[in-house]
Amino acid sequence: MPVPAPPPPLQVLLPFHRDSPPLFRRALESVAGQTYPHWECLLLADGAGPDLLAMARAFAARDPRFRLVERGHRGLVAALNEGLRLATAPFVARMDADDTAAPERLERQMRLAETTTSPALIGCGVRIAGGMKRFERWLASVDTHARVLREAFVDCPLPHPTWLARPGDLLSLGGYRPGDLPEDYDLFLRMVARGWTFQKAEGDLLTLTHHPARLTMTDPRYRPRAFRRVKWEHLAPRLAAGRAINIIGGGATARAWLALLQDDGFKVDKILDIRPTRIGKVIRGVRVEEYSTHPFTPGPFHLVALPRLEQRDEVRGRLASRGLEEFRDFLCVT
């Protein structure tokens, strides 16, 4: 009897539902064209229509490394968790049906992954087609483990479609949680809480296609309010009971965090606004004071609620010059 071939070292989890056929074809072609040959792609059909299914079957017929898994529509979380349970390879990589991987993406990420021993998440640089250039620049600035941690409560510095990790490590965190929340960011923050290592393969190895029909643009689970609820769930245990809290920032971002803190019973002493026009106002019972003249002595915890990287970095530098340490004395959020 012939000996069955060993499983490949890497499986790509690619769920699809109602995606654009041209973008889906381009995504599959980019997986097929990888310089790293030892992969299997699980095409997780989540109630997909006949056009997409026909395309997936055609790719699977031409290249046995594509395996189609057909299911009724249960949603992205269920599809991804099933993919993790089906995985037999030591590593899994994520891919979206409307994105495109550079030919060397999997090779460069696997080169890093095979050197890791502790739970680790390997990402890569991205380009965003169709807009979001400020977000693209922010992603490019987060290129080390330390920078991933300090930006963790701003947004996910390693975009979900770039992920590569061990499936067992992801399942040990409980996999993707269902609910009214961004499932990828929630899982990322659980990695942060468990002390995972974060690495980034060199180069812009994935092109994210930004378009109005993208799930992140249409589903309320990916709106700022949902992201802040997940951030607060992970952040609240870090705040010591009874420690004074100040918010540094202004506008809608600072007001949203003030409401979250107060609604959960935390007392905010001051809002330190970077804009002089707000000084002296009172918001939800909290006085707005001037950021530029504040002494910043050790003691209070400062929540830096600013939307722009250059604003956050200016505040980081000022607080560090006063002897305050990130995570211990302040944290940046959006």
Q: Are residues 111 and 257 in the same domain?
A: no
User: What digits encode the pLDDT tens for the residues 266-291?
Assistant: 999 999 998 878 888 999 999 999 99
In this prediction, residue 215 carries a pLDDT of 61
* Domain final residue pick, 195, 225, 255: 225
Same domain, 98 and 217: yes
Identify whether the C-beta of residue 205 lies closer than 8 Å to the C-beta of residue 109: yes
In this structure, is residue 316 part of a structural domain?
yes
Same structural domain, 250 and 321: yes
- Helices 251-263 and 224-235, axial angle in degrees (round to 10): 50
**Residues 163, 303 within the same domain:** no
pLDDT tens per residue across span 312-322: 999 999 999 99
pLDDT of residue 7: 74
The answer to whether residue 304 sits within a structural domain is: yes
Mean of pLDDT values over 23-31: 97
**On the CB side of 177, how many CA atoms lie within 13 Å of its CA?**
15
- How large is the average pLDDT for residues 26-50? 97
Domain end point (choices 194, 225, 256): 225
CATH, residue 286: 3.40.50.720
Whether 2 maps to a domain, the answer reads no
Q: What pLDDT shows up at residue 222?
A: 76
Q: What is the pLDDT of residue 217?
A: 54
Q: Residue 130: what pLDDT? A: 82
3, part of any domain? no
What 3-state DSSP class applies to 2?
Answer: coil
The verdict on residue 33 lying in a domain is yes
Is residue 5 included in any domain, yes or no? no
Q: What percent of the chain has pLDDT over 70?
A: 95
47 and 128 co-located in one domain? yes
The answer on pLDDT for 252 being more than 60 is yes
> In the structure, what pLDDT confidence band is assigned to residue 213 with cuts at 50, 70 and 90?
low
Are both 176 and 319 inside the same structural domain?
Answer: no
Total domains in the fold of the chain = 2
Domain that holds residue 140: 10-225
Are 279 and 171 contained in the same domain?
A: no
Shared domain check, 298 and 217: no
Bridge partners, residue 43, by sequence: 14, 68
What is the C-alpha to C-alpha distance for residues 289 and 276, in angstroms, rounded to an integer?
Answer: 9
Q: Is residue 236 part of a domain?
A: no
pLDDT at 5: 65
Q: Which residue has the higher pLDDT, 104 or 3?
A: 104
CATH number, domain containing residue 49:
3.90.550.10
Task: Please give the sequence-ordered ranges of beta strands (E in DSSP) within 166-264, or none if there are none.
Answer: 197-209, 245-249
**Structure tokens of 268?**
């905010």
The answer to whether residue 100 is domain-embedded is yes
DSSP letter at 277? G
Q: What is the pLDDT of residues 60-104, one digit of tens each?
A: 999 999 999 999 999 999 999 999 999 999 999 999 999 999 999
Q: Average pLDDT in the 136-158 region?
A: 96
Do both 127 and 188 map to the same domain?
yes
Whether residues 263 and 127 fall in one domain: no
Q: Are residues 269 and 149 in the same domain?
A: no
Based on the fold, state whether residues 209 and 291 are members of the same structural domain: no
Listed residues 225, 256, 273: the one ending a domain: 225
CA distance 247 to 11: 44
Distance CA(265)–CA(168), nearest Å, equals: 37
